[in-house]
């Protein structure tokens, strides 16, 4: 998921999974790496996991070094964006003249390019119920190449379908919050909770296993083992629990007052941002 580059022109053409287009990006294209400068990339939860592990950092360290916090106006939720270099071109910190140094672990937005997603709903699977569009930047010469794709072929080739599947609960949560009337706002404690579960996976793991969380949120032993061993399973677990806390869904059995107690616990453990 990303906010559009304010410099980009977007064609008002709705594209579906079977829509076809021609595009290719490689070192021989004259505009190579220009799309990695002057950008605004909102990082997803799975992006954080991939990138912090690639760099050998904790999620806390990665967030401090490579991201900046923003409040997404449409949802009033905290999101993190990639912190750009303080150079003339506002370059991505991972781009070099010969390409991306973390290419195999690049964020979802980079994988989608030159496509944008007009809907974040993934209730029916990785493709969701929305549509796609072209992000047309004047400098991009990739559309002049001859390689032809369908939208679905591009998503599979770029690995973005896997990212969407893992991020599905998160994107659904964001869409759900976006549909709320503007008069309904989350408390600061709820925002801290959202931030920790979404982005600070290491802190959330400590919260689950080093506090009374599992005593207050009864969890099957097989689930406990899965979330102990896999950050992805922990993320999915946390997002399901978070939806229950924020939207009062009965995904887990909770004792009376557990919502307030959880928020208090998060506050006691320090700021999530």
| Structure confidence at residue 75 as a pLDDT band (50, 70, 90) | confident
Q: How many other β-carbons are positioned within 10 Å of the β-carbon of residue 31?
A: 14
Residue at which a domain ends, from 140, 171, 202: 171
CB 146 within 8 A of CB 195: no
- Tokens representing 78 are 């905290």
Say if residue 159's pLDDT is above 80: yes
pLDDT of residue 265: 53
Residue at which a domain ends, from 137, 171, 205: 171
Residues 146 and 51 in one domain: yes
pLDDT of residue 137: 84
pLDDT of residue 192: 93
Residues 51 and 79 in one domain: yes
The domain in which residue 190 lies consists of 186-268
**For residue 181, is it within any domain?**
no
**For residue 200, is it within any domain?**
yes
Residues 165 and 221 in one domain: no
**For residue 160, is it within any domain?**
yes
User: Could you please report the per-residue DSSP string of 154-194?
Assistant: HHHHHTHHHHHHHHHHHHHHHHHHHTS-TT----HHHHHHH
pLDDT averaged over every residue in the chain: 84
Q: How many other β-carbons are positioned within 10 Å of the β-carbon of residue 270?
A: 10
- Tokens representing 172 are 């659904």
- SS3 category, 21: strand
Say if residue 142's pLDDT is above 70: yes
pLDDT of residue 217: 92
pLDDT of residue 248: 62
Say if residue 163's pLDDT is above 70: yes
pLDDT of residue 31: 94
- Number of domain units in the chain: 2
Residues 205 and 236 in one domain: yes
Residues 113 and 141 in one domain: yes
pLDDT in tens, 91-139: 999 999 999 999 999 999 999 999 988 754 434 443 445 788 988 788 8
Per-residue buried b or exposed e for 205-238, using 16+ beta carbons within 10 Å of the residue's own CB: bebbeeeebeebbebeeeeeebbeeebeebbbbb
Residues 131 and 262 in one domain: no
Structure-token match 């304010």, residue found: 6
Of 31-45, 118-132, 200-214, the poorest mean pLDDT is in 118-132
pLDDT of residue 253: 39
Residues 119 and 247 in one domain: no
| Structure confidence at residue 3 as a pLDDT band (50, 70, 90) | very low
**For residue 234, is it within any domain?**
yes
Task: Lay out the sheet containing 67-72: strands in order across.
Answer: 42-43, 77-82, 67-72
Residues 16 and 127 in one domain: yes
Residues 100 and 16 in one domain: yes
pTM of the model: 0.83
| Structure confidence at residue 237 as a pLDDT band (50, 70, 90) | very high
Residues 20 and 67 in one domain: yes
Residues 233 and 162 in one domain: no
pLDDT of residue 246: 80
| Structure confidence at residue 14 as a pLDDT band (50, 70, 90) | confident
**For residue 107, is it within any domain?**
yes
Query: How large is the average pLDDT for residues 140-153?
Result: 94
Phi, psi at residue 141, to the nearest 5°?
A: -105, 5
**For residue 1, is it within any domain?**
no
Residue at which a domain ends, from 126, 145, 171: 171
**For residue 3, is it within any domain?**
no
Share of the chain above pLDDT 70, in %: 81
Query: How large is the average pLDDT for residues 25-42?
Result: 93
pLDDT in tens, 44-68: 999 999 999 999 999 999 999 999 9
pLDDT of residue 268: 53
Query: How large is the average pLDDT for residues 215-227?
Result: 95
Residues 156 and 241 in one domain: no
**For residue 215, is it within any domain?**
yes
């Amino acid at each position: 998921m990303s906010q559009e580059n304010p410099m980009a022109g977007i064609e008002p053409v709705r594209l579906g999974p079977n829509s076809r287009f021609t595009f290719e990006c490689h070192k021989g294209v004259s505009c190579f790496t220009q799309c990695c400068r002057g950008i605004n990339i909102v990082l997803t939860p799975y992006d954080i996991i991939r990138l912090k592990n690639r760099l050998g950092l904790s999620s806390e360290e990665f967030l401090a070094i490579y991201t900046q916090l923003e409040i997404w106006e449409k949802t009033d939720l905290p999101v993190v964006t990639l912190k750009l270099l303080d150079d003339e071109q506002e370059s991505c910190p991972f781009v070099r003249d010969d390409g991306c140094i973390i290419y195999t672990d690049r964020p979802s937005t980079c994988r989608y390019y030159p496509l944008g997603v007009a809907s974040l709903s993934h209730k029916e699977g990785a493709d969701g119920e929305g549509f796609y569009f072209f992000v047309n930047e004047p400098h991009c010469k990739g559309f002049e190449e001859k390689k032809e794709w369908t939208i679905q072929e591009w998503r599979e080739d770029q690995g973005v379908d896997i990212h969407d599947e893992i991020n599905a609960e998160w994107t659904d949560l964001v869409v759900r919050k976006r549909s709320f009337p503007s008069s309904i706002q989350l408390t600061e404690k709820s925002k801290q909770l959202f931030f920790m579960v979404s982005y600070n996976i290491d802190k959330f793991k400590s919260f689950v296993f080093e506090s009374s969380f599992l005593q207050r949120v009864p969890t099957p032993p097989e689930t406990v083992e899965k979330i102990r061993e896999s950050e992805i399973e922990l993320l999915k677990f946390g997002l399901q629990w978070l939806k229950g806390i924020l939207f009062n869904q009965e995904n887990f059995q909770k004792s009376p007052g557990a919502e307030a107690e959880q928020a208090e616990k998060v506050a006691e453990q320090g700021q999530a941002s």
